[in-house]
Amino acid sequence: MPNWVMNELTCIFQTAEEYNAFKTKVTEKNNKEEEEFFNIFVTMPEVLEGTQSPDVNVTKLIADFNKETGKSVTTLQEIVEANHQWFSSTAKAGIQNRLALSSTGFSTWHEWNVKNWGVKWDASDLKIKELPDFNTVIYSFNTPWDTPESFVKTLSTLYPNATFEMVSGSIENDTHYEFTCEDGKFEETCSYETFKEAVEDGKWGGMKEWAILFEESEEIDC
């Protein structure tokens, strides 16, 4: 299980038209019983869907196949054609990964996601708060291990007239991080040494919301 990071992304638009168009993109997708956010705006190429991660070690696979079967194959396709229950399916995955690499520069979905979103999975537990009088919408969501910094930077280039303000924190990672992006320009606006320090300063609902968890953590450390 990953360490989960809480995120709150505030999107501030100059016009009601841009605000509504942005919000509708997210709402329409998530009304179809699919939970997506990053992939709506920074879309993973289809060829990467279903790729195997970690990537197939082709050299080792061929060597292991030859050792197991007594054959002397040199390619993944030969392993596929041998119709061996385990080796052939892994070889097919290796071929798909090679095809993805040749067309995208990435052999697995995981590599692409981390590079383009900053995290390995799309947002989860997505919640939306609308402030139409201010052309503002706030998205709260969780991500595994890290903050989707790369996604927010790219998003700000797609909507250069908008301002994107991110607040990110994790009790498990003991981190708190805040930054703003406008037209691809990144500025760190606040950073605490620890998550606890941020909470003590009133972030994430303040110490009242987190006191019990901090007490439990201290007991475990002892």
Specify the pLDDT at position 23.
Answer: 93
Cβ-count burial of 59 within 10 angstroms (0-12 exposed, 13-18 middle, 19+ buried)?
exposed
Specify the pLDDT at position 14.
Answer: 95
Which ranges in the chain belong to alpha helices (H)? 16-30, 38-41, 58-69, 76-82, 85-104, 109-116, 149-158, 195-200, 207-221
Contact 188, 160 (CB under 8 A): no
Q: What is the mean pLDDT of each run of 10 residues along the chain (222 residues)?
A: 94 96 89 84 96 95 94 94 90 96 97 98 95 95 96 97 96 92 93 88 86 64 44
Specify the pLDDT at position 222.
Answer: 38
Cβ-count burial of 156 within 10 angstroms (0-12 exposed, 13-18 middle, 19+ buried)?
buried
Specify the pLDDT at position 208.
Answer: 82
What is the 8-class DSSP label of residue 172? T
Specify the pLDDT at position 218.
Answer: 55
pTM: 0.88
Specify the pLDDT at position 217.
Answer: 57
Specify the pLDDT at position 97.
Answer: 97
CATH annotation of 4-41+121-221: 3.30.70.1270
Average pLDDT over the chain, rounded to an integer: 92
How do 185-192 and 163-170 pair as beta strands?
Answer: unpaired
Specify the pLDDT at position 220.
Answer: 40
Contact 180, 189 (CB under 8 A): yes
Residues of the chain with CATH 3.30.70.1270: 4-41+121-221
Cis check: omega of the bond before 160, within 30 degrees of 0: no
Other CB atoms within a 10 A radius of the CB of residue 220 amount to 7
Other CB atoms within a 10 A radius of the CB of residue 25 amount to 13
